[in-house]
Structure 1
Amino acid sequence: MYSSPSTTRISRFARRSNGAVNYTSTRDALDLNQLQDLAPSVFAEGAHASRSRQYSYIPTSEVLAGLMREGFRPYAVMQGGSRDVEKRGFTKHLIRLRHDSQGLQVGGTHNEIVLMNSHDGTSSYRLMAGVFRLICGNGLVVAESMVEDIRIPHKGDITGQVIDGCVELLTKLPQLSESVREMESLRLTEGERAAFATAALVARYDEGEAPITPSQLLTPRRTEDVAPTLWNTLNVAQEGLIRGGLSYIQRDTNGRRVARRRTREIGGIDQNTTVNRALWTLAEEMRKLKATV
């Protein structure tokens, strides 16, 4: 068994009937015992039966143990679900890591490395750059156009390759802080914010199918997000789309009111990552556009 350090404060946690674990973030680093309780697929005892002999099985927990020895600490986790009960112990999982050398950054953020993997064939090891904003608990994923992902197949020295990949990404994280600093300094007009929110809704919903309006999406949940900066706009939109909870009126095909509903939280790893990256891309494009004015 792995030793458990200080008690961890979990900001959000929910286990669904299909075995999925919604995004769970903590104030303190998670130890392996806590991760095993939150996301069992990280500790799968073998690959799913559907994998071939060429599949090199190394549990994510073993890779994590190696990363932790190198100063990378897990602070958040998600686990994907499956309708197939036999696959639930092998499903895709996502872990957000911070390195001991990286302190609090500009804008009250932590630069992170996002590790994704599965033991059912749905994902290789994948490393992405991320930013975590303390004030709201937003875990953003940076667009690949800014920091390229590192993908590692299930073969060879997986632990060594993942550690090397994390070290490589670590050298690229400072540019994230510079991007955040620029976003914080850029103030948007109402028209620019409306355009951002309109495009952000398309990142989650089919065009014209969003149950909420752009202005609803831009309603801040805390006073710190009131200033119309690009950074605040990105985070307010991200929180609204990922966490949901925004109220709307459901109507029938004749336009008659049926009930008051709230938008749902995104619980799937793939959709969470896709929406996050689309929003970061929007913000980066807006940043470049404003820089040329």
Structure 2
Amino acid sequence: MNATHPTLAARFARNTHVLRSAEPLADEQIRHVAPSVFADGKHASRSERYTYIPTIEVLRGLRREGFEPYMAAQSRSKLEDRRDYTKHMLRLRHAGQVQATQARARDTANEIILINSHDGGSCYQMLAGMFRFVCCNGLVVGEVVDDIRIPHKGDVRGEVIEGAFRVLEEFDAVDEHAQAMKALPLEHGEEIAFATAALALRFGERALEDGGHAPAPVTAEQLIEAHRPEDIRHDLWTTFQRVQENVIQGGQPGRAPSGRHLRTQPVRSIDRGVSLNRALWMLAEEMRKLKS
């Protein structure tokens, strides 16, 4: 597929735009959805101690080292003067990882997640992630790989590139954890228990006016529903994938506390998406430990 024809180009909920492609994204594609990647300076609210390093320069450095972006996203701001400086995210793959994925005909690709902003909303963050081709869904690895956080002080470009390779070196451990989940069968009750915990992570306790708590708008049974034949398996990994997709992407029919019919919404923000994705991975890890 040509890079000028992305597999997904859409508004991601109400305050984030996202673009993902089967081929590396070109600068003009990224600029369309994440203009803050190309910001020409820091926001006026930042002090002199705040080091501005343009994300595009970091990206160019990473490209020279074999990394390419396959997804770009940016949070939107109601304040017009911040719109070109807000938090943005790139998901990148290294050429060696791409070749290994193709050679082994894997259904997932390892990705490095870069998060940054130019208005003080975020330091540079490097996270480990995985992309699942069958559902076009991006995961965030839990505590298998340590996050790399780099403050806006000094020359951070070298630190970011070094951090990307540090994350890259840890993907063997990520693959081992994923394989262990795939080898672990779950009974229906265990799948429901996993989905029930995921409901709490996604919706929490929603207070009612009378002081009580409303149930989640959907059920645990709905979260373990499969959308394709490849997902009709009952191991921990596949259950985790089904629940993660339904939680993050939404679209399930449900009811509001008032009884009104609704469909669940996709997760709305970069921060919430990362934290919820990570929490779901850690939930799967804890179940793996208990079952093992």
Q: Cα gap change, 1:12/1:228 in structure 2, threshold over 3 Å: closer, same or farther?
A: farther
1:243: Cα distance to partner?
0.7
* CA distance, structure 2, for counterparts of residue 187 and residue 137 of structure 1: 24
Contact 1:95–1:116 (Cα < 8 Å) also in 2 = yes
- TM-score, normalised on structure 1? 0.91
* CA distance, structure 1, for counterparts of residue 156 and residue 29 of structure 2: 23
Q: Any idea what the Cα deviations from partners look like across 1:201-232, whole Å, max 9, x if unmatched?
A: 11111135420000011111111101111111
* CA distance, structure 1, for counterparts of residue 56 and residue 96 of structure 2: 22
* CA distance, structure 1, for counterparts of residue 193 and residue 9 of structure 2: 30
Q: Cα gap change, 1:16/1:232 in structure 2, threshold over 3 Å: closer, same or farther?
A: closer
1:107: Cα distance to partner?
5.0
* CA distance, structure 2, for counterparts of residue 17 and residue 214 of structure 1: 25
Identity over the aligned pairs, expressed in percent? 46
Correspondent of 1:97 among 88, 92, 102? 92
State the secondary structure of the residue aligned to 2:11: coil
* CA distance, structure 1, for counterparts of residue 3 and residue 78 of structure 2: 35
* CA distance, structure 2, for counterparts of residue 177 and residue 266 of structure 1: 26
2:211 matched residue in structure 1: none
1:17: Cα distance to partner?
6.8
State the secondary structure of the residue aligned to 2:287: helix
1:228 matched residue in structure 2: 234
* CA distance, structure 2, for counterparts of residue 198 and residue 79 of structure 1: 31
* CA distance, structure 2, for counterparts of residue 276 and residue 106 of structure 1: 25
Contact 1:97–1:112 (Cα < 8 Å) also in 2 = yes
Q: Any idea what the Cα deviations from partners look like across 1:226-259, whole Å, max 9, x if unmatched?
A: 111111111111111111100013352xxxx43x
* CA distance, structure 1, for counterparts of residue 14 and residue 275 of structure 2: 23
2:195 matched residue in structure 1: 197
Q: Any idea what the Cα deviations from partners look like across 1:174-197, whole Å, max 9, x if unmatched?
A: 111111111111110111101100
1:159: Cα distance to partner?
1.1
State the secondary structure of the residue aligned to 1:202: helix
* CA distance, structure 1, for counterparts of residue 251 and residue 204 of structure 2: 19
Q: Cα gap change, 1:88/1:194 in structure 2, threshold over 3 Å: closer, same or farther?
A: same
Runs of 4+ in 1 over 3 A off after TM superposition: 15-18
1:219 matched residue in structure 2: 225
The number of equivalent residue pairs is 279
Unaligned runs of 5+ in 2: 206-213
* CA distance, structure 1, for counterparts of residue 164 and residue 196 of structure 2: 35
Letter of the structure 1 residue corresponding to residue 72 of structure 2: V
1:164: Cα distance to partner?
0.5
Letter of the structure 1 residue corresponding to residue 155 of structure 2: D
- TM-score, normalised on structure 2? 0.91
* CA distance, structure 2, for counterparts of residue 146 and residue 194 of structure 1: 25
Contact 2:12–2:268 (Cα < 8 Å) also in 1 = no
Q: Any idea what the Cα deviations from partners look like across 1:32-72, whole Å, max 9, x if unmatched?
A: 22111121011111100000001111110110011001001
Letter of the structure 2 residue corresponding to residue 77 of structure 1: A
1:12: Cα distance to partner?
4.3
1:240 aligns with 2:240: no
Q: Any idea what the Cα deviations from partners look like across 1:92-114, whole Å, max 9, x if unmatched?
A: 01111110011316851111111
1:10 matched residue in structure 2: 7
* CA distance, structure 2, for counterparts of residue 281 and residue 17 of structure 1: 27
Unaligned runs of 5+ in 1: none
* CA distance, structure 1, for counterparts of residue 231 and residue 9 of structure 2: 21
Contact 1:107–1:181 (Cα < 8 Å) also in 2 = no
* CA distance, structure 2, for counterparts of residue 121 and residue 223 of structure 1: 44
2:283 matched residue in structure 1: 282
* CA distance, structure 1, for counterparts of residue 106 and residue 181 of structure 2: 10
State the secondary structure of the residue aligned to 2:134: coil
1:24: Cα distance to partner?
2.4
* CA distance, structure 2, for counterparts of residue 85 and residue 232 of structure 1: 42
1:141 matched residue in structure 2: 140
1:42 matched residue in structure 2: 37
2:210 matched residue in structure 1: none
* CA distance, structure 2, for counterparts of residue 235 and residue 124 of structure 1: 29
Contact 1:106–1:180 (Cα < 8 Å) also in 2 = no
1:83: Cα distance to partner?
1.7
